[in-house]
A and B are shown apart, each in its own frame.
Chain A
Amino acid sequence: MTYRPGTLVRARPTDPDHHTRVPRYVRGHVGEIVERQGEWPLPDDSARGIAPPRVEAVYTVRFPARDLWGTGSHTVTVDLWESYLEEVSTDEP
Chain B
Amino acid sequence: MSHDELPVAARVRRLEERVIAAGLTTGDELDALLDELLDGASPVNGARMVARAWTDPDYREALLADANTAAGSLGFATNGYRLCAVENTPTLHNVVVCTLCSCYPVTLLGPSPGWYRSFAYRSRVVREPRAVLAEFGLRLPDEVEIVVWDASAETRYLVVPRRPEGELPEEELAARVTRKGLIGTSAV
Q: B-contacting residues of A (Cβ < 8 Å)?
A: 21-23, 25, 37-38, 40, 58, 60, 62, 65, 68-69, 72-81
Q: Is B147 in contact with A23, judged by CB distance below 8 angstroms?
A: no
Extra 7 A-B pairs, beta carbons < 8 Å, given A74-B147, A79-B152: A21-B153, A25-B126, A37-B154, A75-B146, A75-B147, A78-B152, A79-B151
Instruction: Report A-chain residues with C-beta under 8 Å of the C-beta of B153.
Output: 21, 37, 40, 58, 79-81
A44 to chain B, nearest CB (A): 12
B178, CB-defined interface residue at 8 Å: no
Interface centre among B130, B146, B147, B154 (most CB of A within 10 A): B154
Q: How far is the CA of A40 from the CA of B155 in the complex (A)?
A: 11
Determine whether B145 belongs to the interface, using a CB cutoff of 8 Å to chain A. yes
Q: How many contacts between A and B, using CB within 8 angstroms?
A: 60
Find out whether the CB atom of A74 lies under 8 angstroms from the CB atom of B152.
no
Q: Is the C-beta of B128 less than 8 angstroms from some C-beta in chain A? A: yes
Q: Which residues of B contact A (CB under 8 A)?
A: 82, 99-100, 126-130, 145-155
CA separation between A80 and B126, bound complex, in Å?
Answer: 16
Are the C-beta atoms of A74 and B148 separated by less than 8 Å?
yes
A37-B155, A79-B155 are contacts. A23–B150 as well, Cβ < 8 Å?
A: yes
